[in-house]
C-alpha cells in the first residue's frame, strides 16, 4: 500500500495473505497476494494470483514475520479461476478467483475470532466518491517488495466515465473493473496487494467491493488503482460456492 498507515489486529479481520512455494520444495511459504475471507471456507482473490505453486492462506495476523496465537493457517482444497479471465499487456479482465479452504471436523474452515471474520458480499452499488478502504502487505513508496506489516489506506470510488477517459485508462477499461484512489496519485494499492480487499462500509456493515487487480505503476497522477468490480460477479461467486 502506497501512502498508507499501519493497521491493527481486528481492523481487517477478513484480510488474508495468500502464500506460495514451489511445488515439492521444502522452502518456506512466502506472501504472494492478498485475499479476502467471504465465508468460513472461501477466500476471494485475483485470478492473476493463481499459478502452479503449492499454496496456503494466512488469516488473523498483522505482521507476516511475527508469530501470533491469533493467526490461522489454512490449506487450499480447490482453486476456481473465472472462465473469462484474460490477461493483455495493458489490462486484466474478469480478474477474480475463489479459493476453497480445506475443512476441519465440523465442516468449518477458518474459525471466527476477534481477528478472523468474513466480510459481506455487496447487495447494491456504492455511489461515486464513496470513501472505502484498501489493505494489504504490498509494496510501499519506501521499500520495494512486500511490507511485513499490514497497511491500510482510504481511497475514493472514481466515476467509471472519468477512469475511461483518454487521459486516464481509456477504453482498455471494461465493466468488470472499477477505479479507486486519487487523481493526484500518492495513495494507492501496489504490487503484493493484488487479490486483496477494497472494502466499503454502510450502516456499520463492511462489504467487499473490489479486488486489487492492476494499474499503471503505483501512486502515479491520473493512474488510480484498478479493482475487479465484485458486484458484477455476485452470481458467479454464489454459483461456485453453493455448487461445490
Ligand atoms: C501489481 O503489480 C499491481 N496501483 C497492483 C496494484 C496496482 C498496480 C500494480 C495499482 O500487482
Query: Is the minimum distance from the CB of 3 to ligand 1 under 6 angstroms?
Result: no
Residue 143 has pLDDT above 70, yes or no: no
Rounded distance from Cα 15 to ligand 1 centre (Å)? 17
Closest-CA residue, ligand 1 atom 2, reads 191
Q: How many whole angstroms separate alpha carbon 169 and alpha carbon 177?
A: 11
pLDDT higher than threshold 90 for residue 84: yes
With a cut of 90, say whether residue 9 has pLDDT above it. Answer: no
Q: What is the mean pLDDT of residues 217-234?
A: 98
Task: Render pLDDT for 40-80 as a digit per residue (tens, 0 to 9).
Answer: 999 999 999 999 999 999 999 999 999 999 999 999 999 99
- 112 CA distance to ligand 1 centroid (A)? 30
Query: Which residue has its alpha carbon closest to ligand 1 atom 8?
Result: 215
Using 50, 70 and 90 to split pLDDT, how confident is the model at 244? Answer: low
Atom of ligand 1 nearest to the CA of 219: 4
Pairing of strands 72-81, 15-21: unpaired
Residue 49, pLDDT score: 98
Gap from CA of 227 to ligand 1 centroid (Å): 10
The overall average pLDDT reported for the chain is 97
Catalytic center residues: 48, 95, 194
215 in contact with ligand 1, CB cutoff 6 A = yes
Reported as a pLDDT band with limits 50, 70 and 90, residue 107 is confident
Q: What is the pLDDT of residues 11-22, one digit of tens each?
A: 999 999 999 999
Q: In Å, how far from its chain's centre is CA 196? A: 1
Amino acid at each position: 500500500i502506497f501512502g498508507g498507515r499501519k493497521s491493527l489486529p481486528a481492523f481487517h479481520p477478513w484480510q488474508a495473505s495468500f502464500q506460495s512455494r514451489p511445488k515439492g520444495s521444502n522452502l518456506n511459504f512466502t506472501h504472494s497476494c492478498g485475499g479476502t475471507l467471504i465465508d468460513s471456507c472461501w477466500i476471494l482473490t485475483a485470478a492473476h494470483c493463481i499459478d502452479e505453486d503449492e499454496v496456503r492462506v494466512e488469516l488473523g495476523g498483522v505482521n507476516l514475520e511475527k508469530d501470533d496465537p491469533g493467526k490461522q493457517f489454512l490449506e487450499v482444497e480447490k482453486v476456481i479461476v473465472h472462465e473469462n479471465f484474460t490477461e493483455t499487456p495493458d489490462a486484466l479482465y474478469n480478474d477474480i478467483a475463489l479459493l476453497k479452504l480445506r475443512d476441519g471436523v465440523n465442516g468449518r474452515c477458518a474459525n471466527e475470532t476477534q481477528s478472523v471474520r468474513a466480510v459481506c458480499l455487496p447487495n447494491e452499488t456504492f455511489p461515486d466518491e464513496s470513501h472505502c478502504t484498501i489493505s494489504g502487505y504490498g509494496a510501499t513508496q519506501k521499500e520495494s517488495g512486500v511490507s511485513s506489516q499490514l497497511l491500510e489506506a482510504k481511497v475514493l470510488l472514481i466515476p467509471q466515465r472519468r477512469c475511461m477517459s483518454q487521459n486516464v485508462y481509456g477504453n482498455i477499461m471494461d465493466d468488470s473493473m472499477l477505479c479507486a484512489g486519487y487523481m493526484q496519485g500518492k495513495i494507492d494499492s501496489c504490487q503484493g496487494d493484488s487479490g486483496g480487499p477494497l472494502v466499503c462500509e454502510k450502516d456499520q456493515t463492511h462489504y467487499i467491493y473490489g479486488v486489487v487487480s492492476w494499474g499503471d505503476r503505483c501512486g502515479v497522477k491520473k493512474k488510480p488503482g484498478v479493482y475487479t468490480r465484485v458486484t458484477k460477479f455476485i452470481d458467479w461467486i454464489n454459483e461456485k460456492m453453493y455448487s461445490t
